[in-house]
Chain A
Amino acid sequence: MTLANRNFKMVKTIAEFFLILRVNITSDQTQKAFGKVLTKLGCTAPLVPGFCIQKKVSMNLSVGEYKDEFECFFGSVGASCELGVMDDLFDSSLNLEDAHYKEGYDEAYNHGLIAGKEEARQVGLKVGFEVGEELGFYRGWVDIWTSTIQVDPTCFSPRAKMIIAQMEELIQKYPLMDPENLQVQEIMDSLRVKFKMVCSSMHVKLEYNGYPKSSTEANDIQF
Chain B
Amino acid sequence: MELKEIQRLEGHTDRVWSLAWNPATGHAGVPLVFASCSGDKTVRIWEQNLSSRLWECKTVLEETHIRTVRSCAWSPSGKLLATASFDATTAIWENVGGDFECVSTLEGHENEVKSVCWNASGNLLATCSRDKSVWIWEVQPGNEFECVSVLQGHTQDVKMVKWHPTEDILFSCSYDNSVKVWADEGDSDDWQCVQTLGEPNNGHTSTVWALSFNPGGDKMVTCSDDLTLKVWETESIGMQSGGGFAPWRHLCTLSGYHGRTIFSVHWSGEGIFASGAADDAIRLFVEDTESQAGGPLYKLLLKKEKAHDMDVNSVQWSPGEKPLLASASDDGTIKVWELVS
Contact = CB atoms under 8 A, between A and B. Distances in A.
Interface string A175-207: 000000000000001000100110111010100
A222 interface: yes
Contact of A189 (B131, B140, B152): B152
A182 B31 CA distance: 59
Interface in B119-133: 130-133
Given A200-B106, A222-B68, A222-B86, A215 B111 contact: yes
Point out which of A196, A201, A213 has the most chain B C-beta atoms below 10 A from its C-beta: A196
Interface residues of A, number: 17
A214 interface: yes
A112 B336 CA distance: 72
A215 B106 contact: no
Nearest to B135: A200
A93 to B, nearest CB: 56
A159 B146 contact: yes
A110 interface: no
B150 A197 contact: yes
Contacts of A159: 146, 148, 189
Contacts of B86: 222
Interface string B119-163: 000000000001111010000100000111010100000000000
Contact of B147 (A200, A205, A213, A218): A200
A157 interface: yes
Interface in B191-243: none
A201 B150 contact: no
Contacts of A189: 152
A200 B111 contact: no
Interface residues of B, number: 20
B152 A193 contact: yes
Contact of A200 (B108, B130, B152, B189): B108
Contacts of A200: 106-108, 135, 146-147
Nearest to A189: B152
A196 to B, nearest CB: 6
Contact of B110 (A197, A201, A203, A213): A213
Given A159-B189, A189-B152, A222-B86, A214 B146 contact: no
A221 to B, nearest CB: 11
A222 B150 contact: no
Interface in B159-192: 189
Contacts of A199: 108
B88 to A, nearest CB: 9
Nearest to B150: A193
Contact of A197 (B108, B111, B112, B140): B108
Nearest to B86: A222
A213 B152 CA distance: 16
A123 B150 CA distance: 32
Interface in B255-287: none
Interface string B1-26: 00000000000000000000000000
A199 to B, nearest CB: 7
Contacts of A218: 130
B111 A201 contact: no
Nearest to A159: B146
A200 B108 CA distance: 5
Contacts of B68: 222
Interface in B82-123: 86, 106-108, 110-112
Interface of B: 68, 86, 106-108, 110-112, 130-133, 135, 140, 146-148, 150, 152, 189
Given A197-B147, A200-B147, 11 more contacts: A157-B140, A157-B146, A160-B146, A189-B152, A197-B108, A197-B150, A200-B107, A200-B108, A201-B147, A213-B110, A214-B111
28 contacts: A157-B140, A157-B146, A159-B146, A159-B148, A159-B189, A160-B146, A193-B133, A193-B150, A193-B152, A196-B108, A196-B150, A197-B108, A200-B107, A200-B135, A200-B146, A201-B147, A203-B107, A205-B107, A213-B110, A214-B110, A214-B111, A214-B131, A215-B111, A215-B131, A218-B130, A222-B68, A222-B86, A222-B112
